[in-house]
Amino acid sequence: MTSIQAVVFDMDGILIDSEVLWREAREEFCTENGMLWSAEDQEATMGCNTRSWSALMVQRLRLRERLSMDEAAVAAEIKGRLLAKYRRKLPLREGAVEAVQLAASRYKVALASGSPNELAAFVMRETGLDRVFLATMYGDDVVHGKPAPDIYLQVLEKIGVAPRHAVGVEDSGNGIRSLHAAGMGIIAAPGPEFPLSEEVLALADVRIAEMTEFQLGLVEDAGGALRLRAAR
């Protein structure tokens, strides 16, 4: 009998191809204000909650000195740009909604997204996944965002499942490190625009290139690898 009871999904980069839009929003903001947003900057923010990425932007771009902007101001700016993009066209990742529905046919399913609450709630309503997930945790709900394990531990507590009986699906280095720190099984599903380093991929139990590849057997494979890790 399986020991896996729950599958927890990330949102940005897993359910929606939004990491490109996050990058675009930041690049557009920087271009309009005579600044540069690098690939390294973008990677550092992926999976982070609003508190973390807004602080990173203020620090790296010296926004206080240049534009008299603090964390709250830049967060509002970037979130507004993202919401406008989502309203024009929500970039669903192919196979993502079906993957959640498939997982829900056997396991408890939950969402642990570092995305700001209003953006994540919008996506949940638009996709109808707010009626599928048993629990959700968003970036603004936790003090310490990914790569800290807090968001995963707290959403698992909501659905009454221990980390050793859960598998997470993530695309970013910060997200995979968060799952590893939480003691969960890990399915890595990076998007083509943001490949993972070998160091990060080594933490994953299962790797898929597309969400259309998601199958229940992969959850069991990740659970088996988790049990082996725990026994060492």
Return the domain boundaries, the chain: 6-17+92-231, 19-88
Length of the chain: 232
Question: Six-digit token pair at 210?
Answer: 């597309």
Q: What is the pLDDT of residue 1?
A: 44
Residue that is written with structure tokens 């049990």 in the block: 227
Least confident interval from 95-99, 143-147, 163-167:
143-147
CATH of 19-88, one of 1.10.860, 3.40.50, 1.10.150, 1.20.120: 1.10.150
**Architecture (CATH level 2) of domain 6-17+92-231:** 3-Layer(aba) Sandwich (3.40)
| Mean pLDDT, rounded, for 9-20 | 93
Quote the pTM value: 0.89
Own/partner long-range contacts of 205-208 (Cβ < 8 Å, ≥24 apart): 205/167
